Structure 1
Amino acid sequence: MQADTIKIGISACLAGEKVRFDTGHKRSNFCMDEFAKHVEYTRFCPEVAVGLPIPRPTIRQVRVGDTIKVCRPDGSGDVGPQLTAYGIKVATEQAKELSGFVFCAKSPSCGMERIKIYNEAGTGNTSEGVGFFAEQIMKHNPLLPCEENGRLNDMHLRENFVMRVYTFKNWQKLIQQPLNVHRLTQFHAQYKYLLMAHNYQAYRDLGHLLGTFLGDDVTELADKYILGLMNGLKKPASRKNNCNTLMHLQGYFKKDLSSVEKQEMREAIDEYSDGLVPLYVPLTLLKHHLKVHPNEYLEKQVFFNPYPNELKLRYGI
Structure 2
Amino acid sequence: MSHIPVGISSCLLGQSVRHDGGHKHSRFCTGVLAEHFSFQPLCPELEAGLGAPRPTIHIRDIDGDLRLVESKGSADHTDAMRNWIKQRIPDIDQLRGYILMAKSPSCGMERIKVHNAEGRVIHREGRGLFAEALIQAYPLMPVEEEGRLNDSHLCENFIERVFAYDDWMNLVESGLTPSALVDFHTRHKFQLMAHCNQTHQQLGRMIANLKSAPIGEIGNEYIALFMAAMRKHIRRGAHANVMQHMMGFLRQALSASDRQMMTEQIDAYRREEVPLIVPMTLLMMAQRRAPADYLSRQEYLSPYPEQLGLRNKV
Q: TM-score, normalised on structure 2?
A: 0.96
How big is the shift at 1:257? 1.4
Shift of 1:50: 1.0
What residue is the counterpart of 1:86 in the other structure? 84
Question: Are the aligned partners of 1:84 and 1:136 in contact in 2 as well (CA < 8 Å)?
Answer: no
Gaps of 5+ in 1: none
Instruction: State the SS of the aligned residue for 2:106.
Output: coil
**Counterpart in the other structure of 1:27:** 25
Q: Which residue of 2 aligns with 1:43?
A: 41
**Cα offset, 1:66, TM superposition:** 1.9
Q: What is aligned with 2:263?
A: 266
Looking at structure 2, the residues matched to 7 and 99 of structure 1 have their Cα atoms a distance apart, in angstroms, of 6
Match of 1:153 in 2: 150
Residue 133 (structure 2) pairs with residue 136 (structure 1): yes
SS state at 1:51 partner: helix
Asked whether the equivalents of residues 118 and 126 of structure 1 are also in contact (C-alpha less than 8 Å), the reply is yes
Q: Does 1:275 align with 2:269?
A: no
Residue 216 (structure 1) shift? 4.9
Instruction: Tell me how far apart the structure 1 counterparts of residues 45 and 86 of structure 2 sit (CA, whole Å).
Output: 14
> Does the alignment pair 1:208 with 2:198?
no
> In structure 1, what residue type is equivalent to 2:18?
R
In structure 1, the residue matched to 2:303 is: 306
Please say if residues 91 and 141 of structure 1, whose CA atoms lie closer than 8 Å, have aligned partners that are also in contact.
no
Query: Given the alignment of the two structures, is residue 222 of structure 1 paired with residue 219 of structure 2, yes or no?
Result: yes
Tell me, in whole angstroms, the C-alpha distance in 1 between the residues paired with 2:64 and 2:173.
43
Task: Structure 2: give runs of 5+ residues left out of the alignment.
Answer: none
Aligned to 1:67: 65
> How much does 1:9 deviate?
0.4
Structure 1 residue 138: Cα displacement: 1.1
Q: Distance in 1 between matches of 2:312 and 2:84?
A: 39
Q: Hey, what's the Cα distance between the residues in 1 that align with 2:280 and 2:263?
A: 12
Structure 1 residues 180-195: aligned runs within 5 Å? 180-195=177-192
1:242 to 239, 250, 257: 239
Alignment-mate amino acid for residue 229 of structure 2? G
138-147 or 209-218: which moved more?
Answer: 209-218
Alignment match, 1:252? 249
More displaced, 68-77 or 57-66?
Answer: 68-77
SS of equivalent to 1:63: strand
C-alpha distance in 1 between matches for 2:105 and 2:300: 37
**CA distance in structure 2 between the aligned counterparts of 1:236 and 1:80, rounded to whole angstroms:** 36
Return the offset for 1:87: 2.2
The one-letter amino acid of 1:84's match is: R
Cα deviations by residue, 1:110-148 (Å, 9 ceiling, x for unpaired): 011121001222333311111101111111111111000
Contact 1:63 1:118 in 2 (8 A): yes
Q: Which residue of 2 aligns with 1:5?
A: 3
Counterpart secondary structure, 1:55: coil
SS state at 1:206 partner:
helix
Secondary structure of the residue that 2:110 maps to in structure 1?
coil
Following the alignment from structure 1 to structure 2, what is the Cα–Cα distance between the partners of residues 301 and 158?
Answer: 21
Instruction: Tell me the TM-score normalised to structure 1 length.
Output: 0.95
Would you say the 8 A contact 1:90–1:137 is kept in 2?
A: no
1:56 to 54, 69, 72: 54
Asked whether the equivalents of residues 160 and 236 of structure 1 are also in contact (C-alpha less than 8 Å), the reply is yes
**RMSD (Å), alpha carbons:** 1.4
Q: Distance in 2 between matches of 1:177 and 1:149?
A: 31
Q: What secondary structure, in the 3-state scheme, does the structure 2 residue paired with 1:81 have? A: helix
Identify the range of structure 1 (67-76 vs 185-194) with the bigger mean alpha-carbon deviation.
67-76
1:105 corresponding residue in structure 2: 102
Opposite residue 37 of structure 2, the aligned amino acid is: V
Identity fraction in percent: 38
2:116 is matched with 119
Aligned to 1:313, what secondary structure does the other structure show?
coil
| Separation (CA, whole Å) in 2 of partners of 1:88 and 1:209 | 36
Question: Which deviations, in whole Å up to 9, do the C-alpha atoms of 1:83-110 show, x marking residues without a partner?
Answer: 2232232221x21110000000110000
Aligned length: 314
